[in-house]
Amino acid sequence: METEIIKIRPGEGPVSEEDEEKLRAAGAILQQGGLVAFPTETVYGLGGDALNPSSSQKIYAAKGRPSDNPLIVHIYRFEDIYKITKEVPEEARKIADAFWPGPLTMILPKSDAVPYETTGGLDTVAIRMPSHPAAQKLIKYSGGYIAAPSANTSGKPSPTVAKYVEEDMMGRIDAIIDGGEVGIGLESTIIDLTVTPPQILRPGYITQEKLSTVLGTVDTDTTILRADSGQAPKAPGMKYRHYAPRGELTIVEGTPGQVREYINRAAAADHTAGEKTGIIGTEEMLSGYIADVVKSVGSRKDEDSIARHLYTILREFDDEGVTKIYSEGFSTEGFGQAIMNRLLKAAGHKVVKL
């Protein structure tokens, strides 16, 4: 299959008339059952018509994703939620008012309009309304419902730039819309509204603190930051090895001095053993590190920048053939919880606590 690359103006500004035509054409591909990757404010998505079972099957095939791992259905206006759900509780309206369009996915009971191919066999459906203007137009022109997981090969870090979508999806899908670098860089928060109190299944930019200002009590799935609590995560996708670079990643936690000393010593020993070593550090710590490749993920004072750079850095280590990677750990407060959740998964929960 030949994959068409469709370039649009980078960023999240209003859609130009020229780009609108391109998005209309891409929407037609989706209506005909094809697959189109596209930018959102979180990461690049791999889209298919959510109401067409064969489109969802094609998504699983293109990603090499296990078919029990459900897809998120993307809509562009609230009223479209009614067709795909059995009931819309008051909580759904409240959090939609507060956080949609934006990086929040809600789980609700599905209607018969949504095929089991899209929900991985579940009777619930995950729904999000992205804020990215090009994503909204694409959803509109596709007929209103795009099933889209992240546009990476299953297990790899999610793509935050089109280059990595091309790397994984060239020849496997119909088109890739290249809209430059995404804004947030981590997948949406997922909240399950089918349970009381509502429960966060995947942390993201919309934190528990923010959600509870609107909903009152909100729980968090206890498996989110733990390696093995003996309990299966409630979002099926969270059980799989995820976001992982090819190199072996270890997280090192302790005081700044301890962390620097441990990482440098471990990297030196690896280097002597013939490994290519890499370090993921914050601006504040960077000058103290020695390895084959040292990369800054951003400032400790700016979690947004850490989130935006994390996946790209993991991919860059792959590009450079790094075989052993060490990373500082980060705070698990607020948005930090989402960052550490992804980093822990990328590391297969390999953590050294000093």
What does the longest C-alpha to C-alpha distance in the chain come to? 61
Number of residues that bind ligand AMP (CB under 6 A): 20
Residue linked to tokens 């694409």: 138
Q: Does residue 55 contact residue 114 with C-beta atoms inside 8 Å? A: no
85 lies in the site for Mg ion, by CB under 5 A: no
Q: Which is nearer to ligand AMP, 15 or 62 (CB)?
A: 62
H or E stretch covering 316: helix 303-319
| Residue from 59, 126, 266, 285 in contact with ligand AMP (CB under 6 A) | 126
| Burial class of residue 274, CB neighbours in 10 A (0-12, 13-18, 19+) | exposed
Nearer to ligand AMP, 99 or 326 (CB): 99
x/- track of binding to Mg ion for residues 150-179 (CB under 5 A): x-----------------------------
- Determine if 149 is a binding residue for ligand AMP (CB under 6 A): yes
Look-up of token digits 């109190």: 197
Q: Does 119 bind ligand AMP (CB under 6 A)?
A: yes
3-state SS, 107-138, equals EEEECCCCCHHHHCCCCEEEEECCCCHHHHHH
Pick one of Mg ion, ligand AMP, none as the site partner of residue 238 (Cβ within 5 to 8 A by kind): ligand AMP
User: In whole angstroms, how close is the CB of 322 to ligand AMP at the nearest point?
Assistant: 24
Q: Are strands 72-74 and 175-178 parallel, antiparallel or unpaired?
A: unpaired
Q: Which of 196, 186, 8 is nearest to 91 (CA)?
A: 196
Q: Which of 91, 187, 221, 270 binds ligand AMP (CB under 6 A)?
A: 187
Q: Which is nearer to ligand AMP, 150 or 160 (CB)?
A: 150
Least CB distance to ligand AMP at residue 187 (A): 4
104 contacts 218 by C-beta, under 8 angstroms:
no
Q: Contact letters (x/-) for Mg ion, 240-259, by CB under 5 A?
A: --------------------
Q: Is 344 in the site for ligand AMP (CB under 6 A)?
A: no
CA-based R_g, the chain, Å = 20
Smaller CB separation from ligand AMP, 50 or 291: 50
The residue sitting closest to ligand AMP, measured at its beta carbon, is 237
